[in-house]
Amino acid sequence: MRLDLPDPGAGPHALALRQAFDALRRGFLALVSTQEAAPMLLLQAPDRSVWRVTISNAGALTAEKIQG
């Protein structure tokens, strides 16, 4: 599997973005195969809140808090 995420750069949120991208990569390794795909991914944050992650046709990721 190949997951291409943008480089977070060196802005004020670079470390947080890098950590989030690493978590996405780890999560996708166990969830996505080359044979099937899912329309969304649910992730749980350290504070136990739950987020729905989706992707647009243009490749833009969005996260929506659904619990917590």
Q: What is the pLDDT of residue 41?
A: 86
CA distance 31 to 67: 21
Q: What is the pLDDT of residue 38?
A: 76
Per-residue pLDDT of the chain (68 residues; tens, 9 = 90+): 456 677 778 888 888 888 888 888 777 777 656 677 778 888 889 898 999 999 999 888 899 999 88
Identity (one letter) of the amino acid at 56? S
Q: What is the pLDDT of residue 33?
A: 63
Q: What is the pLDDT of residue 8?
A: 78
